[in-house]
Amino acid sequence: TSELALRVGLHSGAVTAGVLRGEKSRFQLFGDTVNTASRMESTGMRGKIQVSQETADLLMAAGKSHWLKPREEAVVAKGKGELK
């Protein structure tokens, strides 16, 4: 546990939400936004939060550009191609 580190991927966009019934009911999100966030996480680096260009644009519009540090290289994500 002393080596625990997280990777986080964020993407902004529309999602569909619903409650799935079964043995245990659960709330679930669906859609391309969720898939893109998952790809951002899986290609991310330990201890870092990776955001999509759409999310970065929203942060900059909100005056939070100081929260962003551009990656040096582009990322190739499965099913998404090259992401910034």
Q: What is the DSSP string of 36-63?
A: HHHHHHHTS-TTEEEE-HHHHHHHHHTT
Catalytic residue among 26, 39, 46, 69, which?
39
Catalytic residue among 26, 64, 71, 78, which?
78
The two three-digit tokens of residue 64, written as one number: 């939070």
Q: Does 80 qualify as catalytic in the annotation?
A: no
Q: Does 24 qualify as catalytic in the annotation?
A: no
Q: Which of the residues are catalytic?
A: 39, 78
